[in-house]
Amino acid sequence: MVSQVRYSLPLAVVFVLGCASTRTPPSADAPAAQACTPVTEQQVAALFDRWNASLASGDAHRVVANYAPGSVLLPTVSNRVRVSDAEKEDYFEHFLENRPNGTIDERHIRLGCNSALDTGLYTFTFAKTGVVVRARYSYTYAFIDGRWLITSHHSSAMPGK
């Protein structure tokens, strides 16, 4: 048993050193960490205005352009999670038929490094039908390729009283 300990310890040291020596050094071509892009609460609030203006265009493709690739949309008037651009466009083609316009009722913004969160309450008025829907919302944004894009968007109608 003593001889096993004698041989096990040197083998363990060789194994650990061998593993450490096989690590690949960082590549000179590896991208540097992206610096934080400054953003204000007013700029984040304007991202909702940009999205709302794209709704007013009536063009589902223009609305979807506000979303990052692989972003998640949990829409108010659909039971389906929308991840692909095609799924989001399908949702907005139907949503836009009633000419929606959103207004923020209450907002809470949190800022991060190349990310932002805008949560609160909003009201949608549908010009075609006159229907008014109050809902909760959350938008998460990321600064990607020089643009602030939606990475997740959740909207749910306010529960009954």
Q: Where are the alpha helices (DSSP H) in 31-106?
A: 41-56, 60-64, 85-96
- Mark 71-110 as b/e (b = at least 16 C-beta within 10 Å): bbbbbbeeeeebeebebbbbbbeebbeeebebeeeeeebe
Name the pTM for this structure: 0.79
Listed in sequence order, the DSSP H helices in the chain are 2-21, 41-56, 60-64, 85-96
Closest to 105 in 3D by CA, of 132, 85, 143: 132
pLDDT of residue 122: 98
Backbone angles phi, psi at 44, to 5 degrees: -65, -40
On the question of pLDDT at 137 being above 50, the answer is yes
Give the distance, in angstroms, between the CA of residue 126 and the centroid of all CA atoms in the same chain: 26
pLDDT in tens, 94-134: 999 999 999 999 999 999 999 999 999 999 999 999 999 99
141 with 116: CB under 8 angstroms? yes
pLDDT at residue 90 is higher than 70: yes
- What pLDDT was estimated at residue 26? 45
92 has pLDDT over 70: yes
Per residue in 12-71, pLDDT tens? 333 333 444 444 444 455 455 679 999 999 999 999 999 999 999 999 999 999 999 999
Whether the per-residue pLDDT at 5 is higher than 60: the answer is: no
Q: Whose CA is closest to 104, among 74, 132, 136? A: 136
Q: For the chain, what are the domain ranges? A: 41-157
- Does domain 41-157 bear CATH number 3.40.50.2000? no
